[in-house]
Amino acid sequence: MNPTNIVHAGLVFAVYLFIMVLLYFTLSVPIDAIMDGLSDAPLGDASDEMARHSPNFNWAIKAAFACGIATPLTWFVFWVFSEEPYVGIRRR
């Protein structure tokens, strides 16, 4: 099978996207539970710091999942449109 075939690349991308979405929905609940447990833990003097940084940690985890999906999507779109035909004027 030719690796530059758009059907093959689209199929590989669709399988990857399915796996990433499944991974996100599988892991997001346990990760949220861990983060909630960390933010609700009795940390003493550090509880103010955890309350301040906990939303940033949650955002970073969600952003990592989003980048895991967006990076191959961007590569696929750029790969599809990179092989546009030349439409310039040629000298005979």
pLDDT of residue 4: 60
pLDDT digits (tens, 9 = 90+) for 17-68: 899 889 888 988 888 888 888 777 777 777 777 778 888 888 888 898 888 8
- Does 15 reside within a domain? yes
Q: What is the 3-state secondary structure (H, E, C) of the chain?
A: CCCCCHHHHHHHHHHHHHHHHHHHHHHHHHHHHHHHHHHHCCCHHHHHHHHHHHHHHHHHHHHHHHHHHHHHHHHHHHHHHCCCCCCCCCCC
Domains: count for the chain: 1
Is residue 26 assigned to a domain?
Answer: yes
In a domain? residue 71: yes
Kindly state whether residue 60 falls inside one of the protein's structural domains.
yes
pLDDT of residue 1 exceeding 80: no
**What predicted TM-score, i.e. pTM, was given to this entire model?**
0.63
| Domain span at 54 | 6-81
In a domain, 92, yes or no: no
Query: Percent of the chain having pLDDT more than 90?
Result: 4
pLDDT tens readout for residues 60-84: 888 988 888 888 888 888 877 776 6
Is pLDDT above 70 for 11? yes
